[in-house]
Structure 1
Amino acid sequence: MPKAAPLDGVPSVSETLYGRLREGILTGVFPPGGVLRQEELARRLGASRVPLREAMTRLEVEGLVVLRPRRGYAVLSLDRSEIQEIFELRAAVEEHLASVAAQSRTDNDILAVSQALSLMERIATRSPNQIDKWLDANSEFHARLLSSAHRRHASRFATMLRDQVAPYIRIEINLTKDVRQAETEHRAMFEALQAGDAVRLRKLCRQHCEHTAARLIRGL
């Protein structure tokens, strides 16, 4: 397993490489199915092979890259049935976390979700062409919402599932530029969280996953 960051808070070389590679995968710099040649990455990132291999191993554990026999690593590539399966799992996990979050959220949680939602709405309204910024704010909104449940293990699993389909969502929204349905659903989800309405938030989170999957599969 990759080495943990030092106790003094300074990230290790492998931790830094992991963060850069993960961001590159989620933002499409390294697209689905793309080959990740370690020699080329080592030169590009100015790193040695050992910490790079540690970073790649961690990404493999998280399901963002796959190791192919005799061909090295490649970014995870999903077909339609796999995307559908991941969204089915997302719906189940996020539905559970939503139910807990509606009862466990604190004032600080509500504030954090509200701020993420407001940022997302401002980007879409004032700068509709800045889809990448909207997508970053969208990720923050979902992370803040689900972390309101204060369930570390379930939240980590939910994040892993979201990350696996994030590149595809980015491709779809960059093509359609349409975030209206998503924003309406986000606002309703926040209001249910704020009201502590577990039944409604469960339903909204499941529907949001189902609608996102349907749009994505149509786009593909």
Structure 2
Amino acid sequence: MSDMSEAKSTAIPIYETLKDEIVTSVLLPGEALRQEEIAKRFGVSKIPVREALLKLEIDGFVLFRKNKGATVREMSSNEVLNLMDIRIALECKALELSVPNMIPSDFARAKDVLDDYSAQSDSKSWSEHNIAFHQTLYEPCDNPSLLQMIADVRARLGPFTNMLVSEASGLERPHQEHQNILAACEAGKTEEAVELLKQHIETTKKVTAAYMRRGTRS
């Protein structure tokens, strides 16, 4: 194996670990990623660390700045809203494919999530239950590639941004919209369910845009 191939192979677990720490907010937006410290942590040279950081930059998780090195990338307002547009396209397609495949156990699981959702009182819990509800709706689509694309968009947004979106939206409106979407799914009304989902994400996007314009949170 060449030195370059070995570096790329060694970089993979470093990439996966750092990506997971960024996605789960162990590493926060703007936080410095010092190559020497990472190399020491993983017991490797700086070459595979740089490979891992460059791949993270390509995937949108890390930013390299001249004379400042690598930092965890901060999402701009426009990036958040653009990713929500992508959510609309991907998730509406997933729901369109899912509804004909749904069975009673799918509806029961979704209702259980909504029951728990309505009992929560903080944005972190709202965000977690919101994600769980949407996942439950999309899993019957029987398209792993599409589900992975949805998960990738969610990872790009990260838990901090997902919490911001949940905080901006509150509980009552999204909860009622979720119930309406689920009712349409249970009735087998695919077009109605998809349209309700589209309106749901579009409204969330507008509320989030207004919330970020006010600068309530950075």
Shorter-chain TM-score above 0.5 = yes
Separation (CA, whole Å) in 1 of partners of 2:186 and 2:53: 39
User: Over residues 109-142 of structure 1, what are the superposed CA-to-partner deviations in whole Å (9 max), with x where a residue is unaligned?
Assistant: 33332222222122x2xxx1x3323322222112
CA contact (8 A) 2:123 2:170 kept: no
- Three-state SS of the structure 1 residue aligned to 2:141 is coil
CA contact (8 A) 1:101 1:149 kept: yes
Is 2:114 aligned against 1:117?
Answer: yes
Query: Structure 2 regions of 5+ residues with no counterpart?
Result: 213-218
Q: CA deviation at 1:75?
A: 2.7
Query: Structure 1 regions of 5+ residues with no counterpart?
Result: 4-12
Separation (CA, whole Å) in 1 of partners of 2:27 and 2:156: 13
- TM-score normalized with structure 2 length: 0.73
Separation (CA, whole Å) in 1 of partners of 2:110 and 2:52: 30
Separation (CA, whole Å) in 2 of partners of 1:195 and 1:55: 47
Partner of 1:187: 179
Is 2:133 aligned against 1:141?
Answer: yes
Q: CA deviation at 1:65?
A: 0.9
- Three-state SS of the structure 1 residue aligned to 2:62 is strand
Structure 1 or 2, whichever has the larger Rg, is 2
Structure 1 residues 181 and 66, CA, compared in 2 at 3 Å: closer, same or farther?
Answer: same
Separation (CA, whole Å) in 2 of partners of 1:58 and 1:179: 37
User: Over residues 43-83 of structure 1, what are the superposed CA-to-partner deviations in whole Å (9 max), with x where a residue is unaligned?
Assistant: 7xx6444897787677556x451352665543332323222
Structure 1 residues 119 and 57, CA, compared in 2 at 3 Å: closer, same or farther?
Answer: farther
Aligned length: 200
Separation (CA, whole Å) in 1 of partners of 2:129 and 2:49: 29
CA contact (8 A) 1:14 1:54 kept: no
Among all aligned residue pairs of Structure 1 and Structure 2, give the percentage whose two residues are the same amino acid: 22
- TM-score normalized with structure 1 length: 0.72
Q: CA deviation at 1:96?
A: 1.0
Partner of 1:95: 92
Partner of 2:64: 68
Separation (CA, whole Å) in 2 of partners of 1:149 and 1:56: 34
RMSD across aligned C-alpha pairs, in angstroms? Answer: 3.3
Structure 1 residues 117 and 72, CA, compared in 2 at 3 Å: closer, same or farther?
Answer: farther
User: Over residues 198-219 of structure 1, what are the superposed CA-to-partner deviations in whole Å (9 max), with x where a residue is unaligned?
Assistant: 1111111111211121121111
CA contact (8 A) 1:102 1:193 kept: yes
Q: CA deviation at 1:105?
A: 1.9
Is 2:184 aligned against 1:200?
Answer: no
Separation (CA, whole Å) in 2 of partners of 1:148 and 1:64: 29
